[in-house]
Structure 1
Amino acid sequence: MPKARICERTGMSLKVRAGLLSLVVLLAMLFMATPTQAQQSLDWRELQTDYFRILYHADGEEEARRYEAWVDVIYDDLAAAFNYRTTTPLTLRLYPESVDYFAVNPSARNVPGVIAHADFRLRELVVIVERTAAQSEEGVKNNVRHELTHIIAADLSNNQLNTGFHEGIAQYMERPADELEQRIRALRQTYERGLLMPWSAFDDRERIYGQPEIGYPQSLSVVAFLIEQYGFTRLREFLIVNGRTPSYREALAQTYQRSAGELELAWRDWLPEYLEGGYQRNALVVYDLSFVRTLVNQGSYAAAEQELRTTVEWLKNHADTQPAEVLAEAEALLARSAQGMRAEQLAESARQALQQGDYERAIRLVADAQHLYAELNDARQAEVLAIYAERATRGIEATSVLAQAIELTRGFNYPQAYLQADRAAAEFAALGDTLRRNNAERLRDSLATQQRLVGFGLLIVGSFGVVLSLLGWAFRRPAEIW
């Protein structure tokens, strides 16, 4: 027959001390010895849900109704996650105050911060209502998630799962709340000080419960690692295999096809990324795309694309627990961010083409960028692209005017060529195109010089004609008189 265990949940930011072990043992002895006698001394009322018998004191109906509203939802959520429905009805016992709890569990007076516990044999969850007063609504629900997970994990593992993995899995099934940040801070300090426990310590109840500031957050990170790398379905398989295998190390090897030592080394390599923010991901919580959605909507396409590549890969790895529509949206956002990046690259290339005076290429790039931005319904760059298009158009026109000037030069129409070259030079100067302005100015100046030379030549020719005319007049023969 599987051995009975009791797991506690504390509210002292992981400050439970070594006395917890003795409390666990005493509580187990008490419940196994005279549970009915111990509880009959209290005036218990009962509410029934589909899966729970909620026991409460006469003046605690309002609190009981509070739990009644969502305990079955939590049961269904966990049942769906584990693909397993533990036997019901379960008992949820609500002690109004610590003194009531201590009356049944006197040794608990020596252990500060106990909020809840689960008894696998009695299939009972216990919560001290007084000690949940400072918790958020999510924190209160987490008490139930945590303790119910202990019962499910015990069922699946035939009550063979060790303390470390028990606590790690129970924590992972919670929803993000203030306690998570406290655990991560504690784990970061442990990691930086080189005080991480070996995985073999997970078999040692006294060590896990005696050093909860290390044992709890570390066990959570180990479970997060296994789920992150191999998926939640594989973790459930590990629980079942562990129920048939006396050693967690053997169960890990059979489930993950890697030795416990190899997995532990891989976890240590992975841990820094987890501490830097990976802990915010949970395969059982619908992935929150609001951050990357905001990045895309703000036009921060490069940042969104970088974030979404990791997100899409993670969602694919956890397709067993993440809704298909979330992955579909993430992939759509990734495609949108990639298109936004292409539009940005086209706009930047258009700017560079303008700087290089490649106006034909610039106008094509602007048109392509405008098309992509229009598909994205993103008008933030519309004004800039319009300016680029206007400058490119002016550049093309100025280039055409300069070409006309050159053609007129070939036809020796220097005055008209000069005017066109001067017009082109002025436009290139306005565009900041120094190279083409200089080219136009050189042509213009050359035409001016040529016009002066032509004028001077014509003057000389004209003068020579006058001289010849005068000489002709001077040496003409007198007219004969007939």
Structure 2
Amino acid sequence: MWQYDPVNPRRWCLILMGLILALVLGGTRSALAQGTEWQERRTANFAILYPEGSEAEAEAYAQFVDGVYDEVSAVFSYRAPPPVILRIYPTMSLYEQVNPLAARIPGVVAHAHTGRREISIALPQTVNQSQEQIVNNVRHELTHIIAADLSGDKLTTPFQEGIAQYLEHPSSELDLKMDLMKQVIAANRVLSWRELNQPGTAYENPQISYPQSYTMVAFLIERSGLASFRSFIEASKTSSGYRSALETAYGVSPDRLEQEWRAQLETFVNGEYRNRAVGAFDLSQAETLIARGEYEAALKALELGLPTARETGPAELVQRAEALKTKAANGQRATSLATDARAALERGDYPAARQAASEGSDLFAQLNQPEQQQVMQQYITLAETGFAAHEQLKLVNGDLQTLHIGAARTRLAQ
């Protein structure tokens, strides 16, 4: 995937990148490796490679890349095997050795080699970018890597580019893309999904294909949630094509989905796009995780997205997110109490077991988790039975110690 200015076409597709890499990297990359000594700056999830003299730039990326990794990973509930390689090029001549098209296409910023899980950044092209745009470059390319992993590298270019754009945090570039899409609609140049997914179409005219790809993915996610879109990505791995993968994930025909998308397209590009979930902050994913009892993952996803949502999101979205965060925290607490109750039963601490199970039962009731609540009730019963037996045994021992044999026999018989 290529990243470039949205007015000059900003992103190029995986197919084109694969062709270039296959033809070029076998020779020029080895020559580049021999001619450039790469330094390495490791973070928790990245290996940042840079030539001597670019230490400051490498350190700047090191300050935020792990946060991006956690954020995008939380969206997909999938972590690309680390380290992801981030290679930074301080000059265009160096970058053009691995990406020759950058010499002919103005504004190319970055690309990803999904097979190697490697992101390449042309530093000179980021000089006039805001910090959010620089971070978005990494978000975009890391999304390509994860989507390729989940789909077996079979997700088609429009959906690859659409999801990579969708997970960027909104910036002025999004308004430019929607302005382009308005022009496409006015000129009656909107492509059908079949046309857009034909090999090569996505990069023949990226000023149409890239904004349109964004609107398609935004529609699918706003319609059915991010969990369904992830199902579509994964279905692409074994499906005969994007159409069968869509039908598998959404349960309706691709034609029906396309009709729904087209019906709302003008409303979306004329302003509705500003009301969508912020960047990777999709509440349906957290809701799905909570329903599955994956409270820790839900809490992490919400904590990652809430700061940005508070800054830029609608108040209603923030309120829903805060409520979900409380719910996820309660679920995490209830799960911990279940563990505590079980451990207390095993060591014979029945009062502690009953207290933990009782509190956990109340929380699971609030979470509408009847099966887990039933388990807590069983723990309460076991704790009460165990406590009663323990108290009875204490009385028996007391009778025996005072030689009240008859009383002891009577208590044991009760």
Q: TM-score range by the shorter chain?
A: 0.5 to 0.7
Look up the SS of the partner of 2:236 in the other structure.
helix
What is the distance in 1 between the residues matched to 2:229 and 2:13? 31
In the TM superposition, residue 96 of structure 1 has moved relative to its aligned partner by 0.4
| Greater RCO structure (CA 8 Å; 6+ sep) | 2
User: Which residue in 2 is equivalent to 1:208?
Assistant: 202
1:116 to 2:116 alignment? no
User: Which residue in 2 is equivalent to 1:26?
Assistant: 20
1:130 to 2:129 alignment? no
1:227 to 2:224 alignment? no
Q: Partner amino acid for 2:210?
A: Y
Cα deviation, 1:426-461, whole Å, max 9, x if unaligned, reads xxxxxxxxxxxxxxxxxxxxxxxxxxxxxxxxxxxx
Cα deviation, 1:146-166, whole Å, max 9, x if unaligned, reads 001001000001111001000
1:49 to 2:48 alignment? no
User: Which residue in 2 is equivalent to 1:196?
Assistant: 190
Look up the SS of the partner of 2:189 in the other structure.
coil
**Do the aligned residues in 2 keep the contact of 1:160 with 1:243 (CA within 8 Å)?**
yes
Look up the SS of the partner of 2:7 in the other structure.
coil
What is the distance in 1 between the residues matched to 2:191 and 2:72? 29
Pick closer, same or farther for the CA change 1:32–1:149 going to 2, 3 Å: farther
What is the distance in 2 between the residues matched to 1:260 and 1:111? 34
What is the distance in 2 between the residues matched to 1:180 and 1:19? 18
What is the distance in 2 between the residues matched to 1:19 and 1:93? 19
Cα deviation, 1:37-78, whole Å, max 9, x if unaligned, reads 432311321100111110112111111100000101100101
TM-score, length basis structure 2: 0.67
In the TM superposition, residue 103 of structure 1 has moved relative to its aligned partner by 3.0
In the TM superposition, residue 279 of structure 1 has moved relative to its aligned partner by 1.2
In the TM superposition, residue 255 of structure 1 has moved relative to its aligned partner by 0.7
Pick closer, same or farther for the CA change 1:292–1:97 going to 2, 3 Å: closer
Pick closer, same or farther for the CA change 1:167–1:290 going to 2, 3 Å: closer
What is the distance in 2 between the residues matched to 1:19 and 1:174? 17
Larger radius of gyration: 1
Question: Percent identity, aligned pairs only?
Answer: 37
Matches within 5 A, 1:428-443: none
Match of 2:261 among 247, 253, 267: 267
In the TM superposition, residue 144 of structure 1 has moved relative to its aligned partner by 0.4
1:155 to 2:149 alignment? yes
User: Which residue in 2 is equivalent to 1:282?
Assistant: 277
In the TM superposition, residue 201 of structure 1 has moved relative to its aligned partner by 2.7
What is the distance in 1 between the residues matched to 2:57 and 2:311? 34
**Do the aligned residues in 1 keep the contact of 2:155 with 2:237 (CA within 8 Å)?**
yes
User: Which residue in 1 is equivalent to 2:61?
Assistant: 67
What is the distance in 2 between the residues matched to 1:224 and 1:292? 17
1:81 to 2:81 alignment? no
Matches within 5 A, 1:270-419: 270-280=264-274, 281-282=276-277, 284-285=280-281, 286=306, 287-288=309-310, 322-324=321-323
What is the distance in 2 between the residues matched to 1:291 and 1:162? 30
In the TM superposition, residue 324 of structure 1 has moved relative to its aligned partner by 3.0
1:39 to 2:33 alignment? yes
Look up the SS of the partner of 1:244 in the other structure.
coil
In the TM superposition, residue 108 of structure 1 has moved relative to its aligned partner by 3.0
Pick closer, same or farther for the CA change 1:69–1:130 going to 2, 3 Å: same
What is the distance in 2 between the residues matched to 1:192 and 1:8? 27
What is the distance in 2 between the residues matched to 1:37 and 1:85? 32
User: Which residue in 2 is equivalent to 1:9?
Assistant: 3
Match of 2:97 among 99, 103, 120: 103
What is the distance in 1 between the residues matched to 2:26 and 2:170? 34
Look up the SS of the partner of 2:200 in the other structure.
helix
User: Which residue in 1 is equivalent to 2:239?
Assistant: 245
In the TM superposition, residue 181 of structure 1 has moved relative to its aligned partner by 0.9
Q: Partner amino acid for 1:75?
A: Y
Cα deviation, 1:349-380, whole Å, max 9, x if unaligned, reads xxxxxxxxxxxxxxxxxxxxxxxxxxxxxxxx
Q: Partner amino acid for 2:197?
A: D
**Do the aligned residues in 1 keep the contact of 2:38 with 2:49 (CA within 8 Å)?**
yes
What is the distance in 1 between the residues matched to 2:77 and 2:15? 31
User: Which residue in 1 is equivalent to 2:178?
Assistant: 184
In the TM superposition, residue 325 of structure 1 has moved relative to its aligned partner by 5.1
What is the distance in 2 between the residues matched to 1:18 and 1:132? 17
**Do the aligned residues in 2 keep the contact of 1:17 with 1:111 (CA within 8 Å)?**
no
What is the distance in 1 between the residues matched to 2:81 and 2:212? 30
Count matched residues.
299
What is the distance in 2 between the residues matched to 1:83 and 1:250? 23
**Do the aligned residues in 2 keep the contact of 1:115 with 1:128 (CA within 8 Å)?**
yes
**Do the aligned residues in 1 keep the contact of 2:2 with 2:13 (CA within 8 Å)?**
no
Look up the SS of the partner of 1:243 in the other structure.
coil
What is the distance in 2 between the residues matched to 1:17 and 1:172? 13
Look up the SS of the partner of 2:121 in the other structure.
strand
What is the distance in 1 between the residues matched to 2:314 and 2:98? 51
**Do the aligned residues in 1 keep the contact of 2:3 with 2:10 (CA within 8 Å)?**
no
In the TM superposition, residue 288 of structure 1 has moved relative to its aligned partner by 4.5
What is the distance in 2 between the residues matched to 1:107 and 1:289? 38
**Do the aligned residues in 2 keep the contact of 1:154 with 1:160 (CA within 8 Å)?**
yes
Look up the SS of the partner of 2:182 in the other structure.
helix
In the TM superposition, residue 247 of structure 1 has moved relative to its aligned partner by 0.9
Look up the SS of the partner of 1:190 in the other structure.
helix
Unaligned runs of 5+ in 2: 282-305, 328-414
Look up the SS of the partner of 2:120 in the other structure.
strand
In the TM superposition, residue 200 of structure 1 has moved relative to its aligned partner by 1.2
In the TM superposition, residue 140 of structure 1 has moved relative to its aligned partner by 0.3
Pick closer, same or farther for the CA change 1:19–1:291 going to 2, 3 Å: closer
**Do the aligned residues in 1 keep the contact of 2:6 with 2:177 (CA within 8 Å)?**
no
What is the distance in 2 between the residues matched to 1:263 and 1:64? 43
Pick closer, same or farther for the CA change 1:241–1:292 going to 2, 3 Å: closer
What is the distance in 1 between the residues matched to 2:14 and 2:113? 15
Unaligned runs of 5+ in 1: 1-6, 294-307, 317-321, 329-482
What is the distance in 2 between the residues matched to 1:222 and 1:323? 28
Pick closer, same or farther for the CA change 1:119–1:145 going to 2, 3 Å: same
User: Which residue in 2 is equivalent to 1:392?
Assistant: none
**Do the aligned residues in 1 keep the contact of 2:28 with 2:98 (CA within 8 Å)?**
no
User: Which residue in 2 is equivalent to 1:90?
Assistant: 84
